[in-house]
Amino acid sequence: MKREPPKPESRSQRKRAAIIEAAANTFRDEGYDTTSMDRIAEVAGVSKRTVYNHFGSKEALLTSVFHHYLAQMRDHLQIAWDPTCPVVDQLRKFAQRKVDTVENPLWMGLTRMALGVFIHRPELAQQTTAQADQNEDSLVVWLRQAHQAGQLQVPQPERAAAQFWALIKGQLFWPAIFDPTSAPQGAEREAVIDDAIETFLRRFGV
């Protein structure tokens, strides 16, 4: 069956996308508190009324920005279980994809900005993460399938996924957030990934 070509975006959808991109860049570069809706409208090339028509407040816009980029990150981390590929190689793909987020200036800039905002506005943190929590981690799905295939012993894939990400993020992601100069690079980064995978497989391998 011939696949239908994607429908072109409407003018309203294009404006919404432009506003989200403008907000993401200005929040990152100029700070959330100092960025006004007027400034976002200017960068997006739309009127202030248009910004408010799409997003009723700056808080709602911030939440939409994070939902947009969290969705991008989730898509980037989508790795399907492959019974023909060694488990260690597939785990390395997950780790490398997470490292990719560290190397993305926009994602990292937004994360740093969000930490500052959320510390002082915990209600915004709750609003922003509520929707993200509804989407199952793709690693959880992968681990469940690896368990069913008898390649790993992970009767609690949610817990195992959290432990794997803690091994990776603890040495690669969080150092890059708070002190980029201290984050492992090159061969040292690869060694961190190898050690994390080895530790994980010692616990959950068959």
Domain end, chosen from 56, 74, 95, is at 56
CB 32 within 8 A of CB 62: yes
90 domain residue, yes or no: yes
Handedness of CA 50, 56, 62, 67 (dihedral sign): negative
Rounded to whole angstroms, the Cα distance separating 108 from 87 reads 29
The answer to whether residues 98 and 139 belong to one domain is yes
Which pLDDT score is estimated for 102? 80
The answer to whether residues 90 and 184 belong to one domain is yes
Backbone angles phi, psi at 59, to 5 degrees: -65, -45
CB 19 within 8 A of CB 40: yes
CATH of the domain at 69: 1.10.357.10
Which pLDDT score is estimated for 147? 97
Rounded to whole angstroms, the Cα distance separating 37 from 132 reads 25
120 domain residue, yes or no: yes
Helix, coil or strand: residue 154: coil
The answer to whether residues 49 and 69 belong to one domain is no
Which is nearest to 141 in space by CA: 153, 129, 158, 155?
158
> Which pTM was predicted?
0.78
Backbone angles phi, psi at 9, to 5 degrees: -65, 145
Which pLDDT score is estimated for 141? 93
Tokens 């061969």 -> residue: 187
88 domain residue, yes or no: yes
Tokens 């009127």 -> residue: 47
1 domain residue, yes or no: no
Which pLDDT score is estimated for 1? 43
Task: Specify the number of domains making up the chain.
Answer: 2
The answer to whether residues 29 and 89 belong to one domain is no
11 domain residue, yes or no: yes
The answer to whether residues 169 and 192 belong to one domain is yes
The answer to whether residues 122 and 101 belong to one domain is yes
CB 177 within 8 A of CB 112: yes
Rounded to whole angstroms, the Cα distance separating 40 from 19 reads 7
Which pLDDT score is estimated for 128? 67
75 domain residue, yes or no: yes
Rounded to whole angstroms, the Cα distance separating 66 from 132 reads 9
Residues spanned by the domain of 127: 65-204
Measured CA distances, 76 to 51, 96, 140, 148, 205 (Å): 28, 11, 15, 24, 25
Strand partners, 152: 205
- Give the chain's radius of gyration (CA, Å): 20
Which pLDDT score is estimated for 92? 96
- Name residues of the chain where pLDDT drops below 70: 1-8, 127-136
The answer to whether residues 19 and 69 belong to one domain is no
CB 196 within 8 A of CB 168: yes
Residue 180 DSSP symbol: G
